[in-house]
């Protein structure tokens, strides 16, 4: 009992980082927190003497106007299908998410399922801090074989630590949270100008400048390239002759080669050349001079209104084309890659997953729900999109039309990035077949893809907590101007590196290397 309490109390110090606002797109803000369990009395009556087990799902975001009605229908269908659980959806506003989830777990509050964003804090670290319950016994029972079959071994590896299955993946799209070096562009403008798809970095610059000039002539507004500078420039890196390598996304300070070598990403030649490349973009007028201070919302608005020449590393997500076309009739999004003959390099299949907290006394309820959700198109449609004819209209086999309220917002549509299953997704009506095909690729089934040796590795920064905190405070402000090309690499790098070294970079790298080699040893057994 004392050990469990210590583990629970430990979460109070760090659970706030478990799942953080801003992880993936689609986050609403500003609604009041409440739990949706509408129809519970009717459901209990339908279940007879055996009251349904609550399945309390805690996830970030805001409520929808028809959320209660939809969840009531979900619970009715669960009972009709013989799944004796009652979904109680608890959406917590983003500004209260960290504090609230920390308090819930540290105080021992019971709930059955927690959304986790692994690009903020991975499940292995949460498990080590006493926050999550392992699911091995449940999966070993055979009851959830259908759920387990929905994902490949590589995908399950991402939510497994030291042999413990700690969550169920939420693999909603081929592109979310991943880029694989995609370059997006205004296809309608490129077609109008008769531009050929670039095959080299120099051609990319000329291509972007041509689209920029045409759009500036049409709009009278300065046009820029957007996206991609916060992380390594994968669109450029895939064009190099060097072997594939992984750059850790937590602080973008660690480089992992396919032979298992761990080194400093910021001290590599590839980082240097990437910075210098963006200097060229800056000198050519393709990078907004205030891009670091404008914020994500400004860039997103420019993109959705067609005021962009090119988007790096999914700077223009293909699923945004419908909204773009509403604002700019006739606008189209094109996507290409340099070195298209090279196979995809997979470093992460999904950043999102759903876990069972240690406070749950009925962990099977979460798996009962997820197996039901992913087993059937009708089930998936009901929870994800609501009541047909009231919150959405199905269009064909894989499209939908949202029904909007008087305020112009959806009456209900669950955040797909949190829990949708890619093969059962519906896309917005009007999205082109070309882009749906891009967003529907099963990269987890691509036998030709190169899978990073770091896939599934989860670094625990606890042993170097001070260094990690210092680097977290310094890295972004020091490196972002270099990565965006707004500060010359030759003039700014040595000073930045000196500060990172003083903050504990070498200590951080050494601990990362130690843990990674242990991970590799475990993989080979």
What is the reported pLDDT for 25? 33
Query: What pLDDT score does 158 carry?
Result: 86
pLDDT for the residue 186: 92
Q: Are 245 and 327 in contact (CB under 8 A)?
A: no
Q: What is the pLDDT of residue 317?
A: 57
| Residue-level pLDDT at 492 | 96
Smallest CA-to-CA distance from 16 within 89, 101, 74, 106 is with: 101
CA distance 449 to 327: 36
Q: Tell me, what's the pLDDT at 13? A: 32
For residue 433, the model assigns a pLDDT of 83
2-175+350-425: CATH topology is D-Maltodextrin-Binding Protein; domain 2 (3.40.190)
Token pair 């990035």: residue: 417
What per-residue confidence (pLDDT) applies to 6? Answer: 36
Closest CA to 217 of 193, 241, 233: 193
Q: Identify the pLDDT of residue 470.
A: 94
Q: Using CA atoms, how far apart are residues 239 and 228, in angstroms rounded to an integer?
A: 15
Q: Do 2-175+350-425 and 183-346 come out as alike in CATH topology?
A: yes
- Cβ neighbours, 10 Å, residue 191: 11
- Read off the tokens for 261: 């070598």
Per-residue pLDDT at 9: 35
Domain 183-346: give its CATH code: 3.40.190.10
Sheet strands side by side (includes 399-402)? 392-395, 399-402, 427-428
pLDDT at site 323: 79
Domain residue spans of the chain: 2-175+350-425, 183-346, 462-524
Distance, in Å, from the CA atom of 339 to the CA atom of 182, rounded to the nearest integer, reads 11
CA pair distance 511, 122, nearest whole angstrom: 17
Q: Strand locations in 416-511, DSSP E?
A: 427-428, 450-451
Helix axes 269-283, 489-503, angle to 10 degrees: 140
The pLDDT value given to residue 213? 97
- pTM, 2 dp: 0.74
Alpha helices in 15-63 (DSSP H): 40-46
10-residue block means of pLDDT along the chain (525 residues)?
37 34 36 50 48 96 95 98 97 87 92 89 81 96 97 89 91 64 90 97 96 95 78 83 82 94 97 94 92 75 85 64 85 89 83 94 97 97 97 93 91 94 90 78 82 84 91 89 93 97 97 94 68
User: What is d(CA 182, CA 179) in angstroms, rounded to the nearest whole number?
Assistant: 6
> Which residues face 161 on adjacent strands?
164
Tell me the C-alpha distance between 48 and 448, whole Å: 52
């Amino acid at each position: 009992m004392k050990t469990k309490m210590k583990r629970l109390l430990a979460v109070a110090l760090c659970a706030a980082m478990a799942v953080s606002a801003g992880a993936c797109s689609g986050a609403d803000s500003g609604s009041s927190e409440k739990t949706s369990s509408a129809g519970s009395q009717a459901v209990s009556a339908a279940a007879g003497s055996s009251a349904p087990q609550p399945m309390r799902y805690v996830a970030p975001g805001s409520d929808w106007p028809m959320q209660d009605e939809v969840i009531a229908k979900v619970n009715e269908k669960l009972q009709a299908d013989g799944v004796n659980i009652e979904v109680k959806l608890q959406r917590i506003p983003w500004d209260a998410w960290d504090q609230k989830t920390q308090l819930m777990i540290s105080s021992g509050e019971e709930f059955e399922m927690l959304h986790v964003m692994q690009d903020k804090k991975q499940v292995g670290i949460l498990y080590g801090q006493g926050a999550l319950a392992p699911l091995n016994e449940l999966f070993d029972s055979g009851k959830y074989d259908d759920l387990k079959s929905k994902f490949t071994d590589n995908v399950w590896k991402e939510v497994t630590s030291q042999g413990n299955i700690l969550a169920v993946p939420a693999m909603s799209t081929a592109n979310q949270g991943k880029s694989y070096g995609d370059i997006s562009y205004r296809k309608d403008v490129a077609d109008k100008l008769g531009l050929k798809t670039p095959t080299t970095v120099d051609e990319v610059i000329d291509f972007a400048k041509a689209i920029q000039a045409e759009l500036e002539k049409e709009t009278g507004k300065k046009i820029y390239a957007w996206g991609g500078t916060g992380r390594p420039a994968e669109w450029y890196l895939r064009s190099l002759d060097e072997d594939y390598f992984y750059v850790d996304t937590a602080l973008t300070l660690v480089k992992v080669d396919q032979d298992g070598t761990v080194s400093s990403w910021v001290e590599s030649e590839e980082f240097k050349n990437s910075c210098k490349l963006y200097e060229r973009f800056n000198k050519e007028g393709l990078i907004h001079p205030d891009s670091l201070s404008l914020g994500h919302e400004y860039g997103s608005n420019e993109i959705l209104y067609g005021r962009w020449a090119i988007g790096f590393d999914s700077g223009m997500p293909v699923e945004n084309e419908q909204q773009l076309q509403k604002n700019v009739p006739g606008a189209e999004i094109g996507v290409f890659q340099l070195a298209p003959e090279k196979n995809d390099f997979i470093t992460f299949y999904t950043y999102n997953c759903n876990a069972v907290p240690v406070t749950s006394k009925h962990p099977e309820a979460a798996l009962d729900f997820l197996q039901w959700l992913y087993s059937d198109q009708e089930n998936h449609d009901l929870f994800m999109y609501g009541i047909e004819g009231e919150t959405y209209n199905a269009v064909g086999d894989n499209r939908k039309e949202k029904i909007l309220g008087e305020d112009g917002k959806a009456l209900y549509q669950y955040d797909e990035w949190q829990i949708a299953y890619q093969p059962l997704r519906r896309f917005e009506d009007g999205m082109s077949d070309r882009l749906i095909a891009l967003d529907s690729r099963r990269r987890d089934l691509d036998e030709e893809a190169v899978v990073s040796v770091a896939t599934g590795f989860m670094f625990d920064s606890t042993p170097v907590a001070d260094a990690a905190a210092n680097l977290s405070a310094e890295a972004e402000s020091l490196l972002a101007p270099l990565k965006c090309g707004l500060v010359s690499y030759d003039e700014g790098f040595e000073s930045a590196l000196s500060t990172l070294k003083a903050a504990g970079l070498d200590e951080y790298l050494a601990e990362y290397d130690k843990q990674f080699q242990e991970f590799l040893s475990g993989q080979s057994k």
